[in-house]
A and B are shown apart, each in its own frame.
Chain A
Amino acid sequence: GAGVSQTPSNKVTEKGKYVELRCDPISGHTALYWYRQSLGQGPEFLIYFQGTGAADDSGLPNDRFFAVRPEGSVSTLKIQRTERGDSAMYLCASSLYFRPYEQYFGPGTRLTVT
C-alpha cells in the first residue's frame, strides 16, 4: 500500500513568513509523529497525535510552531514568523496504535528559511 506522504518536498521561504507542511499517514495508522532533523543529527521529536488529539507536544520548540490533525488522518505542521534556525528536514511518521515504536517515515519536507 501507499506509504506516508509529505508535501511539499521542498519549501523555501523568507524569514518572517508563515509556512504549512502537510503529512498524509499510512491508511489505518492512528498515531502520527512530527520530527525535525538537522544535518548530522538524528530526528528530534516535535509532536505526537493519537487520533485527532495531540498526545504529546513537548518537543515543539516555541509557540511559533503548531500542528493539527482535525479528522484523525492528514496533519499539518504550521510555523509562524519563520526564522533561519527553523531550516531543517521535517519528517512525519505514522504507526499502528499497538506498535507505536514501529514508525514509518515519510520522505520529509526540506524547509529553507532565507
Chain B
Amino acid sequence: QKEVEQNSGPLSVPEGAIASLNCTYSDRGSQSFFWYRQYSGKSPELIMSIYSNGDKEDGRFTAQLNKASQYVSLLIRDSQPSDSATYLCAVPGTGGSEKLVFGKGTKLTVNP
C-alpha cells in the first residue's frame, strides 16, 4: 500500500514570501507525482505534475523531485493571499491502476 506523507500545517507565510510545501512517499518505484490545490469548500484541481528528478517551473510554482530521498516539494514564489488553500500531494496507485493516492494535504495561509 503506497503512502504519501505531508505536514498538515497550517503553514503561514507573509504575502510576497516563498511558501515551501513538502511531501514524502513510501514507494521507491513511483515514477510520477502530482500537486493538487483545494480551496476551502471546493474540489481539488491539478496545478503541477513532475516525472523526473530536478525542478519543474510553471509561473510562480516550482515542483522539485528527489527520487533518491523519496521527496517531492512545491515552492510558491511571491505568495499571494489567493494562494491560501490546502495543497495535496498525490502519486499513482499500485498495480497499474490509474487511481491516485493522496496525502492529507498541507493547509497554506498567505497573510496580506
User: What residues of chain A have their CB less than 8 Å away from a CB belonging to chain B?
Assistant: 31, 33, 40-45, 48, 50, 55-56, 58-59, 91, 95, 100-108
Instruction: Give the contacts of B25-80 with A (CB-CB under 8 A).
Output: 32, 34, 42-46, 49
Interface size on B, residues (CB 8 A): 24
Give the chain B neighbours of A95 by CB distance below 8 A. Answer: 98
Q: Which of A42, A56, A59, A102 contacts B105, CB < 8 Å?
A: A42
For B70-104 the 0/1 string (1 means CB < 8 A from A) is: 00000000000000000010101101011111111
In the assembled complex, B8 has its CB within 8 A of some CB on chain A: yes
Q: What are 8 contact pairs spanning A and B, CB under 8 A?
A: A33-B98, A42-B4, A43-B100, A50-B98, A56-B95, A56-B99, A91-B44, A106-B43
Residue among B34, B98, B102 making CB contact with A31, cutoff 8 Å: B98
Q: Given that A43-B88, A45-B93 are known contacts, is A105 also in contact with B43, CB under 8 Å in the complex?
A: yes
Instruction: Indicate if the CB atoms of B99 and A91 lie closer than 8 Å.
Output: no
Q: B44 to A43, Cβ gap below 8 A?
A: yes
Knowing that A40-B104, A55-B98, A107-B43 touch, tell me 9 more A-B residue pairs with CB under 8 angstroms: A33-B100, A41-B105, A42-B90, A42-B102, A43-B44, A43-B102, A48-B99, A56-B98, A107-B42
A-B contact count (CB 8 A): 62
Contact A33 B45 (CB under 8 A): no
Chain A residues contacting B45 (CB-CB under 8 Å) are 104-105
A100 to B96, CA, bound (A): 11
Contact, CB under 8 Å: B97 / A58:
yes
Query: How far does the Cβ of A105 sit from chain B's closest Cβ, in whole Å?
Result: 4
How many Å lie between the Cα of A42 and that of B97 in the bound state? 18
* A103 smallest CB distance to B (angstroms): 7
Are A105 and B44 closer than 8 Å at their CB atoms? yes
Give the residue of B43, B99, B105 whose beta carbon is less than 8 angstroms from that of A33.
B99
Query: Is the CB–CB distance between A45 and B101 below 8 Å?
Result: yes
A-side contacts of B103, CB under 8 Å? 42
Q: A44: nearest residue on chain B (CB-CB)?
A: B102
Note all chain B residues with C-beta closer than 8 A to A108. Answer: 43
A45 contacts B43, C-beta separation under 8 Å: no
Highest count of chain B CB atoms <10 Å: which of A44, A101, A103, A107: A101
